Structure 1
Amino acid sequence: MKIGTAIRRFLAPGWLVALHYRRRFGAVASPRAEVEISPLLELGLGTRIGPFTKVKATSGLVRVGAGTEIGAHCMIAGAETGIEIGRNCRIGPHVAIVGVNYRYERIDMTFRAQGTTSKGTTRIGDNVVIGAGAAILDGADIAAGAVIRPRAVVSGKVAARARKPGPA
């Protein structure tokens, strides 16, 4: 781990990070959120990040549009291909948005030793609502106005204004 990454991750108190993003982007991050200070993280004006949410942009771009609200206990982890979240989205609590997968072709090696793979940028369009506990996986492409039900798993394309069913 690079020294600058370690300082940003472990030594910057939450209130200082919240102040940084308030001044830089006009975004509101809870002091209890874990948001990395990174040049790869872009937050739109009025973006709100709830407590205990983790936003990681160490190895890839994470872009969040203006007016988007991210609930408590979410995990957003960007990778080389990036994550793009549109404007005015509502992301419920406990949602995971990931931009990478581990390789698992060989059973004689650990997942970490096999490296990672990605299907491409994970995209969420404007005005999307994502219910609590949903998982948006690597390469997902959710068009504008879609509604993702609670606990749903999205790994592919979701049409505009579609209603993605969750588990029964």
Structure 2
Amino acid sequence: MSAFAPQLDRDVNDDGAMSIARRCMMVSRRMLMQWGGLVGAGFLIGPSKASGANFGSEKAGGVYFTAENPGRWRNKVEGHLPEVSVTMIGGEKRVIITTNHKMFGFKHYIVKHVLLDAHYGFIDEKLFDPNADEPVSEHKLPSGYSGPIYALSMCNLHDVWLASAQA
């Protein structure tokens, strides 16, 4: 008989039901084990990858697609890779993102464009109506921003495509 068995006997009521205190202890122990596993996985992955701060090219061709790494969509680059241009409009730096992709209603379309900064932080996005819009978006850059920008073009069938430009 283990040292744990006598404790179990005291935590079981006359009708065989487990006491509330015992149930809470078991739930707490289970949660501790689950969270401990997540924290441990974070240490194994490493802080830069766990935080997303180092969104490196090893993801290209798998998580997202680029001209250099089109992955399984190598025949889809021309119609899915966003074109990014930076221009001054009314004294403000603006980014224009264009995806050379026809919109076929909800059957096949560009869902949205997302603009990210040098650290892959969110700047802006534009959602498209597949029955009315063309996949062209204009975004205002934060005042004084300069450096790399990244554009994502999301197709409902052919995943997420990434292109960059210098602002």
- Higher RCO, 1 vs 2 (CA within 8 Å, ≥6 residues apart): 2
- Higher helix fraction (1 or 2): 2
TM-score, with normalisation over the residues of structure 2? 0.22
TM-score, with normalisation over the residues of structure 1? 0.22
Which has the larger Rg? 2
